[in-house]
Amino acid sequence: MLAQLDRITINPNVCLGQPTIRGMRITVGFVLKLLASNLSVQEVLAAYPELEDEDIRQGLNYAAWESSKLWTTYLALLPKKI
């Protein structure tokens, strides 16, 4: 998975350590919000020409992995049934 996410960077000195696209001040969360607000990938790329299609694909992939980890952590914290 890590090789597939080489465009997602986390640096505590950039955007308060949020995951960003290639170290730019464009966060993965911001790109996801644009897509969730019904902008197409092509519209996002036109609005932010510094982004590439692969950046968006990896951002979506990163979000999918992170949400899966969050769910796994949540389940681990639930009380165990005896």
Where do runs of H (alpha helix) occur along 1-82? 28-36, 41-47, 53-77
Question: What are the tens digits of pLDDT across the range 21-78?
Answer: 999 999 999 999 999 999 999 999 999 999 999 999 999 999 998 888 767 777 677 7
pTM over 0.85: no
Q: Which two tokens stand for residue 12?
A: 């505590």
| CATH code of the domain occupying 2-75 | 1.10.10.10
Q: Does 79 or 14 have the greater pLDDT score?
A: 14
Whether residue 79 is predicted with pLDDT greater than 90 in this model: the reply is: no
Determine the 3-state secondary structure of 15 from DSSP: helix
